[in-house]
Structure formats: C-alpha cells, structure tokens
Amino acid sequence: MTADFEQRAVLMDEGRMERTIARMAHELVERHPDMKDTVLVGVRSRGVPLARRLARAIEQALGASPRVGALDITLYRDDFTTIAAQPVTKGTDIPFSIDGRTVVLVDDVLYTGRTVRAALDELIDFGRPARIELAVLVDRGHRELPVRADYVGKAAGTTRDEMIQVLLAEEDGRDVVLLLQRRRPSGGTPPPPTPAAPKPAGGKPRARKAGARAKRSRARGRR
C-alpha cells in the first residue's frame, strides 16, 4: 500500500479471485474452443502470473494449456522519459511466433488505456497476429484512449482519488484486490494564535488608572 493512500474496501479475497479467474478462463474457451492458435501474453508485472493462472484454468477445462509469454512495456510507455532516469526493466519473453495467431493480452488493472497502447506497439514489433484481445482482472474506468477489454473479471467504478491495488501470491505473498482512497490532509497547519492586545506599562488597564486618578482628585478636594 502506498503512503498517500489508505484502504477503503476489499474488492476480492483469495476465493473470489480464484472463481473470477476460472470464469474468465471459461469465457476464453467458449470463444476459442480450439486454443491451438491462441496464446496468452501477460503485461509485467502482475499480468504475467495472471496469464499463467488463466492458462492453468484453461488446461483444466480443455486438457491442453495455451502458451504463455511475458511483455515488458517500460521502453514503450509514452511517459518513459518521466518515470526514471534509468528505469528498471524485467525483459520481454515471448518464445514463440505470434504471426497469424490470436494473442490475448493479460493485465491486472485497466485504467486510462495507455498501458494497453504501449503493449500493442511492442507486440506489433514481434509479428503480425491475426487478432489481439484483452483480458483484465479489474476495469476501473477513466479511459483516456479508445480501449475496451474483451474479458473483465470485475468492473469497479472509481474516482480519480481512488486506486485499485492487486496483490498476487507470486509477487506479493497473498491474493487480494483492494480499493484505496487518497489520504486527506489532517487539517493542515493551524493558524497562528491571535496576539493579545498590548497592555499598558505596569500591566494595568488604562480604565483602572483613570479611575484611580479620579479617586485621588476627590480625596484632595475633601482635604
């Protein structure tokens, strides 16, 4: 969890995530009953273990597992020059040809669509697939590019001040999908206290001094 956000809700626990991935696998099988010419390519980092889980679920349904590759889009991002002076890459690993095949891109969260755009750019550098589809565990909306997922685990309406965090056992030690809320300022810096009105010399209010002078005048008049 990032320092600027706090947990608001749990969208998926381990059991819910397992059932969601199984459902997505069945949707893939329904659309592609013969997975011979269909491959899964996960977008690093959490798209890769999700693609592998989908492949295992498909194998349970069909008796055969589609091939799985990994895509590192770091160098294809449109904000590449702003993310870091020397960004760390984990490497792309697609040990098979994608020419003439259906490639199913797999990612954890679909947000603006810019990650998908970068993934498409990189895939085209590897070959010419017959079709490219998109599978995401969570679609949180707020698209900035005309991108739509073909397989969605869960659609979660969010605000700009919220964030979806997907944790996977392979990467994080546990399976959970969290909805995070940006922390609100704790009231900010309190205003400085209003300074007290200056007191006259001697620490007594002027009214009391005036009253004392009047008393002394009356006393002198009676003498």
Of 56, 57, 48, nearest in space to 23 by CA = 57
193/21 Cα distance (integer angstroms) = 58
Q: For position 54, what pLDDT does the model report? A: 98
- The whole-number average pLDDT for the span 49-63 is 96
- Of 121 and 194, which is predicted with more confidence? 121
Whether 9 has a pLDDT exceeding 70, the answer reads yes
Whether 130 has a pLDDT exceeding 60, the answer reads yes
What stretch of H or E contains 41?
Answer: strand 38-43
CA 27 to the chain's CA centroid: 25
Q: For position 3, what pLDDT does the model report? A: 78
Q: For position 87, what pLDDT does the model report? A: 53
Mean pLDDT is highest, among 9-13, 203-207, 218-222, for 9-13
Q: Could you read off the pLDDT of 59-85 as tens digits, one per residue?
A: 999 999 999 999 999 988 766 444 444
Q: For position 207, what pLDDT does the model report? A: 47
Q: Could you read off the pLDDT of 150-179 as tens digits, one per residue?
A: 999 999 999 999 999 999 999 999 999 999
Pair 133, 150: CB distance under 8 Å: yes
Taking the model in full, what pTM does it have? 0.78
Q: For position 91, what pLDDT does the model report? A: 86
Looking up tokens 């160098």 gives 75
Residues in CB range of 77: below 8 A, 6 or more apart: 83, 114, 115, 118
- Could you give phi then psi for residue 186, rounded to 5 degrees? -85, 40
Give 131-187 as a DSSP string: EEEEEEEEE----SSS---SEEEEE----TTEEEEEE-HHHHSS-EEEEEEEPPP-S
Which domains are assigned to the chain?
14-158 (3.40.50.2020)
Whether 86 has a pLDDT exceeding 80, the answer reads no
Give the pLDDT band (50/70/90) at residue 216: low
- The whole-number average pLDDT for the span 113-129 is 95
- Of 80 and 119, which is predicted with more confidence? 119
